[in-house]
């Protein structure tokens, strides 16, 4: 029988990498909580309708990338391709508008998109996600952007570029849409197939096309800034002013429209100079009409999502620190069979002290066990002689220093030694 492998586009995050993920997640959690955000756990699947109406029927995500299936009762469900629509759904369903505003939430977890798998692009990938709901204040846009930048600072990431734009609102976007169509109409025949079909349904998306001909054709396209209404222009100016004040260097990219229809006003991305084609580590912006498009009242919102795989790739490429890789604190060795009961007792005494303690379960030779122990901070040896005298021999692997400790209390003493060793660590 053929061995079963994982589906295309998914990946196992194995112990050699999972500790790096844990570090990124820890940093993100600490930071988000520090900025006043609270964690929510959202479902992995939702009614398909939520994404069709929330993200937009004519977006790539909804048209081509969703994992949609029928459950046993014939309902159409979809594995979430992103978290924002779910977050807003949850805000509405749980009546969060009735409490103090804005509501600041974060979540982290896997997202699913049927894409062509390649480096930095998977069919199941993780996003760190933050959303602020219930405020139109441009300071909230700034808070979101700053939170992402502070995360990358703390992670030690460099060579990043922050691009911002305003995509307008329902009051001013129709005029821009028309200006763009008028500009592109003479070149309609030269656009790629996808853009031809975008021309009527979603012309702004043409600005985001990766096709070289389309890119060249949109080079001289009308500037969205010229079409913004007063409200959108003021909002964008206020966001930029405060970002400048905080020293965040941003570049305006008038072609930045983002792939999801719900954006209004601020749109932004953080690009990594070390990722090649899949260079966006983070994308976000304001979405003041999302709640209405999924059947709720008007609730303004702004947020970002950042892909963990791309963060970790960038950090690896840049030699960033992930903290310390977990390793064994104490390796317990029973040098003869007579000491095996005492060795087990010591193993669990060490674990009760919170230490990462291990022993051999495979009947390997003492020599082989010593080799494993060389990776640990301490090794403990127990033989019939030590058992008879109620002691344990403890060796500090870094220095080779060995001493005997009384068996009772040995675990606590080793914990203190380890703490002292960590204090000395650079
Ligand atoms: P891209 O332009 O690379 O397709 P996107 O605009 O579709 O990105 P968003 O929907 O804004 O991405 O999602 C936010 C972030 O999630 C991206 O900046 C990226 O870090 C990550 N991301 C998106 N799609 C994938 C994927 N298929 N695999 C890994 N990470 C992804
Ligand atoms: Mg995409």
Using the 3D structure, point to which of 274, 298, 318 is the last residue of a domain.
318
How many structural domains are present in the chain? Answer: 2
User: Which segments of 124-222 are extended strands (E)?
Assistant: 124-133, 160-166
pLDDT of the residue at 355:
97
- Closest residue (by CA) to atom 28 of ligand 1? 121
- Closest residue (by CA) to atom 3 of ligand 1? 278
Ligand nearest to the CA of 82: 1
Same domain for 101 and 159? yes
Same domain for 259 and 117? yes
Using the 3D structure, point to which of 285, 318, 351 is the last residue of a domain.
318
Q: What's the CA gap between 269 and 253, in Å, rounded?
A: 10
Same domain for 54 and 160? yes
pLDDT grade for 426, boundaries at 50, 70 and 90: low
Q: What's the CA gap between 12 and 309, in Å, rounded?
A: 12
Same domain for 79 and 136? yes
pLDDT of the residue at 257:
86
Same domain for 308 and 403? no
Ligand nearest to the CA of 83: 1
Same domain for 125 and 246? yes
Same domain for 252 and 376? no
pLDDT of the residue at 389:
97
Check which CATH number belongs to the domain holding 232 and give it.
3.30.930.10
Same domain for 43 and 71? yes
Q: What is the mean pLDDT of the chain?
A: 95
186 belongs to a structural domain: no
Cα–ligand 1 centroid distance for 82 (angstroms):
9
Q: What's the CA gap between 74 and 249, in Å, rounded?
A: 50
Pocket test for ligand 1, best of 307, 309, 311 (most atoms within 8 A of CB): 307
- Closest residue (by CA) to atom 17 of ligand 1? 282
Looking at residues 291-297, what average pLDDT do you find? Answer: 96
Q: What's the CA gap between 91 and 108, in Å, rounded?
A: 17
Q: Is the peptide bond before 102 cis (omega within 30 degrees of 0)?
A: yes
- Residue 5, token pair as written in the block: 């492998």
Q: What is the pTM of this model?
A: 0.94
Same domain for 336 and 308? no
Domain that residue 338 falls in: 330-414
List, in sequence order, every residue forming a beta bridge with 112; answer none if it has no partner: 124
Check which CATH number belongs to the domain holding 401 and give it.
3.40.50.800
139-177 per-position pLDDT tens digit:
999 999 999 999 999 999 999 999 999 999 999 999 999
Q: Which atom of ligand 1 is found nearest the CA of 60?
A: 7
List C-alpha distances in Å: 284 to 118, 128, 132, 163, 373.
22, 11, 12, 11, 48
Same domain for 304 and 264? yes
pLDDT of the residue at 248:
86
């Amino acid at each position: 029988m053929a061995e079963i492998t994982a589906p295309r586009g998914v990946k196992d995050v194995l112990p050699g990498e999972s500790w790096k993920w844990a570090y990124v997640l820890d940093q993100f959690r600490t930071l988000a909580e520090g900025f006043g955000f609270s964690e929510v756990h959202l479902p992995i699947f939702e009614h398909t309708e939520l994404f069709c109406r929330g993200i937009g029927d004519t977006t790539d995500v909804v048209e081509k990338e969703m994992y949609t299936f029928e459950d046993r009762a014939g309902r159409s469900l979809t594995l979430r391709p992103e978290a924002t629509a779910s977050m807003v759904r949850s805000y509405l369903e749980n009546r969060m508008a009735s409490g103090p505003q804005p509501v600041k939430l974060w979540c982290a977890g896997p997202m699913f998109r049927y894409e062509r798998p390649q480096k930095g692009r998977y069919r199941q990938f993780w996003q760190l996600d933050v959303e602020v709901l219930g405020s139109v204040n441009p300071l909230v846009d700034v808070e979101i952007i700053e939170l992402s930048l502070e995360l990358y600072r703390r992670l030690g990431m460099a060579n990043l570029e922050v691009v911002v734009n305003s995509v307008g609102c329902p009051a001013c976007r129709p005029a821009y849409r028309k200006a763009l169509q008028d500009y592109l109409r003479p070149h309609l025949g030269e656009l790629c197939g996808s853009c031809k079909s975008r021309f009527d349904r979603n012309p702004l998306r043409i600005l985001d096309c990766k096709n070289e001909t389309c890119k060249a054709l949109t080079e001289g396209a009308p500037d969205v800034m010229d079409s913004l209404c007063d409200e959108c222009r003021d909002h964008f100016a206020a966001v930029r002013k405060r970002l400048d004040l905080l020293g965040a260097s941003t570049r305006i990219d008038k072609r930045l429209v983002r792939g999801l229809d719900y954006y209004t006003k601020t749109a932004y991305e953080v690009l990594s100079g070390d990722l090649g084609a899949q260079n966006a580590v983070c994308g976000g912006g304001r979405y003041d009409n999302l709640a209405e498009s999924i059947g709720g009242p008007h609730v303004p919102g702004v947020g970002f999502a950042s892909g963990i795989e791309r963060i970790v790739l960038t950090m690896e490429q840049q030699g960033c620190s992930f903290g310390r890789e977990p390793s064994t604190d104490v390796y317990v060795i029973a040098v003869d069979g007579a000491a095996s009961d005492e060795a087990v007792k010591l193993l669990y005494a060490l674990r009760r002290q919170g230490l990462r303690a291990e022993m051999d379960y495979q009947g390997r030779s003492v020599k082989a066990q010593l080799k494993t122990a060389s990776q640990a901070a301490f090794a403990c040896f127990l033989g019939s002689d030590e058992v008879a005298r109620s002691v344990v021999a403890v060796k500090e692997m870094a220095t080779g220093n060995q001493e005997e400790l009384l068996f009772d209390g040995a675990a606590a003493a080793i914990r203190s030694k380890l703490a002292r060793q960590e204090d000395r660590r650079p």
